[in-house]
Structure 1
Amino acid sequence: MGTMKTFILLAVMTALFMAIGYLVGGAIGMGIAFVIAFGLNVFSWWNADKIVLRMQGAREITADEKSPVYRTFANDTRALAEHAGMPHPRIYIIDTPQPNAFATGRNPNNAAVAATAGLLSTLTREEVSGVMAHELAHVQHRDTLTMTVTATLAGAIGMLANFALFFGNRERGGIIGAIAIMIFAPMAAGLVQMAISRSREYEADRRGAEICGNPYWLASALEKIDRGARATLNQRAEASPAMAHVYIMNPLAGRQGDKLFSTHPATANRIEALRKLGEEMNVEPPERLYPETVGTRGPWG
């Protein structure tokens, strides 16, 4: 099902790309756009993980990692993967103070998960486990390929639409048509991203809670990540906004919850769903869902 969804989205994004190519350069422009889109599709399919990790400045945590915090984080993540019956993913750290995380890769055998330095310094060890279980759920559901190839083509569509303002064929709408393309083509690509983003987050929240065994860990983590993402700039994410939907929480400063162009559901809605799941699983809730004094600040204290 995940592979079929990816093919459908690739077809939609390619059609958008070709339509803009036609409006920019007629039949020749459409042909060139098809060739570019085909190349992007193939490249994204085989290099999905490398694209995202490089763009976000991620560094792999290897066996000779010096930081005990990062080593423990990596070991915990591998243990979660084993519990989920999955191969060990490659594990990365991103040097940004904003708390966030994402997963990427075309399948569970070629997957990678990444957490920011801000995530490890802000959340408790249990909360970090909840976040990484969520990301492993994306890998298990094969969401990561869909998310990455869609982001690649969405970014390309945005660039091609900008070219239309300067090189658009005047016989096909002139300057007004070119401006319309520049505005509405990225919007259409964004709507395709939105269609895959919201439902997959709820599904990954549920499966992640099952993997780590406690929905409240992820619920508490989401609240802290939401506060941190709003207050802290993620420069890498701001530089490549088409990649925003791969993160567990929208990393773009100032973006709000369940609005038309949000890549993520409202945090409050996700937390409420996790609360209900905790009741279904008969998990004892903490004294307060977001304790400031219960437990320790940071996962390793």
Structure 2
Amino acid sequence: MSYARTALLLAGMTGLFLVIGYMLGGETGIMIAFIMALGMNAFSYWNSDKMILRMHGAREVDGQSAPELYQMVADLARRADMPMPRVYIMDNPQPNAFATGRNPENAAVAATTGLLEMLSHEEITGVMAHELAHVKNRDTLIMTITATIAGAISMLANFAFFFGGSNDEENPNPLGMVGTILIMIFAPMAAMVVQMLISRTREYEADRIGAEICGQPMWLASALNKLDKGASLIDNHRAENNPATAHMFIVNPLHTRKTDNLFSTHPNMDNRIAALKDMSPSQSAKRTSRSKLPQSNQPTKGPWG
């Protein structure tokens, strides 16, 4: 259902782009704006991991400099049957983490020093499993495609200054000047909303897959509870200076309202934790008992048995 919703949102954004492009510049306007936006986002796609890691002051670690974290990620990557990603640590007191990279073969996971200090071994395992789920699900690729289309829509809205107003055969605009003004105001806003909805959808899916990778949904649920509280109390100055990267983190690094509203980059934390609790063996056992079905006493195993 999550993938179907993502595909539907991408299709809706693409349709919005095509309609706006035709209204402002016809077929020529569509092609020019899309090629320019594609070029800019292609550069970001191939270089985004290096740019973002540098932006947040991340330093790469290995089995010698951070043996426990590195071995944890290696074990989880084996369980997920995926290549070992590069591992980074950010010197930042706010507990948080993110994944980046254009595909599983060129991926990186990064955790803050605040996360490593605040969370238990099991909770860190849940967080790293969540980030590996993003890599396994190719969420970076999905968000790059979304950013490409959103960038094209914003560019078309800017082109309204030049293409809008007229209503001749070469540059048809059925809504005239009023339509142009509406496009300039609401098109980028609509693209931003769809982009945020896709980001939130991918977070729910990464929670689910991450819980399956580590084998213990409650590890991640407990981690999310601590991260949500910690992120709300501790500033992340690098993220505040680069708010466009906020959607990448496991919890919102910016100090905003926690309600699951239309403009939130992350789902409501209570909803995420509730979904993970529903996956836990204890909740499954309770539902089985209530339905009078045979109850299994076999616990779900973590990455080290």
TM-score above 0.5, yes or no? yes
**1:107 is the counterpart of 2:109:** no
Matches within 5 A, 1:49-128: 49-62=49-62, 65=65, 70-128=66-124
CA contact (8 A) 2:22 2:30 kept: yes
- SS of alignment partner, residue 257 of structure 1: coil
Cα offset, 1:218, TM superposition: 0.7
Aligned partner of 1:145 in structure 2 is 141
Residues 56-91 of structure 1: CA deviation (Å, up to 9, x unaligned): 3432224563xxxx4322221111111222110111
**Match runs of 1:105-254 below 5 Å:** 105-151=101-147, 154=150, 158=154, 161=157, 163=158, 169-171=164-166, 180-254=182-256
Aligned residues: 277
Distance 1:132 1:43 in 2: 27
Question: 2:95 and 2:277 mapped to 1: Cα distance?
Answer: 22
Alpha-carbon contact 2:246-2:265 (below 8 Å) kept: yes
Contact 1:81 1:87 survives alignment (8 Å): yes
Would you say the 8 A contact 2:37–2:155 is kept in 1?
no
Alpha-carbon deviations, 1:252-283, whole Å to 9, x = none?
21132311121222111111111121125669
Going from structure 1 to structure 2, the CA distance change for 1:259 and 1:152 (only over 3 Å counts) comes to same
State which drifts further: 7-16 or 207-216: 7-16
Maintained 8 Å contact 1:134/1:209: yes
Q: Cα deviation per residue 1:206-225 (whole Å; 9 max; x = unaligned)?
A: 22112212111111111111
Quick one: structure 1 residues 184 and 110, their matched pair in 2 at CA, closer, same or farther if it must change by over 3 Å?
A: same
Distance 2:50 2:145 in 1: 12
What is the TM-score with the length of structure 1 in the denominator?
Answer: 0.75
What is the aligned-residue RMSD (CA, Å)? 3.6
Cα shift readout 1:90-129 (whole Å, capped 9, x = no counterpart): 1112232221111122222121111122211221121111
Q: Structure 2 counterpart of 1:119, which letter?
A: L
**SS of the residue 1:256 aligns to:** coil
Equivalent residue, structure 2, for 1:35: 35
The one-letter code of the counterpart of 1:236 is R
Q: 2:125, 2:214 within 8 Å by CA — same for their partners in 1? A: yes
Which amino acid in structure 2 is aligned with residue 202 of structure 1? Y
- Secondary structure at 2:142 match in 1: helix
AA of the residue aligned to 1:36: M
Q: 1:273 aligns with which of 272, 275, 283?
A: 275
Q: Identify if the C-alpha distance between structure 1 residues 273 and 132 changes in structure 2 by more than 3 Å, giving closer, same or farther.
A: same
Give the TM-score normalised by the residue count of structure 2.
0.74
For 1:4 and 1:281, how far apart are their aligned partners in 2? 26
Cα drift, residue 25 of structure 1 = 7.2
Secondary structure at the counterpart of residue 128 of structure 1: helix
Summarize deviations over 1:182-205 as a string: whole Å, max 9, x none: 542332222222332233222221
Q: Give the 3-state SS of the residue equivalent to 1:112 in structure 2.
A: strand
Gapped runs of 5+ residues in structure 2? 167-172, 287-305
Q: Identity over the aligned pairs, expressed in percent?
A: 59
AA at the equivalent of 1:120: L
Q: 1:53 to 1:160 in 2, by over 3 A?
A: farther
Shift of 1:234: 2.3
* 1:142 partner amino acid: R
Change (3 A) 1:96 1:43: same
Q: More deviation in 182-191 or 96-105?
A: 182-191
Partner of 2:169: none
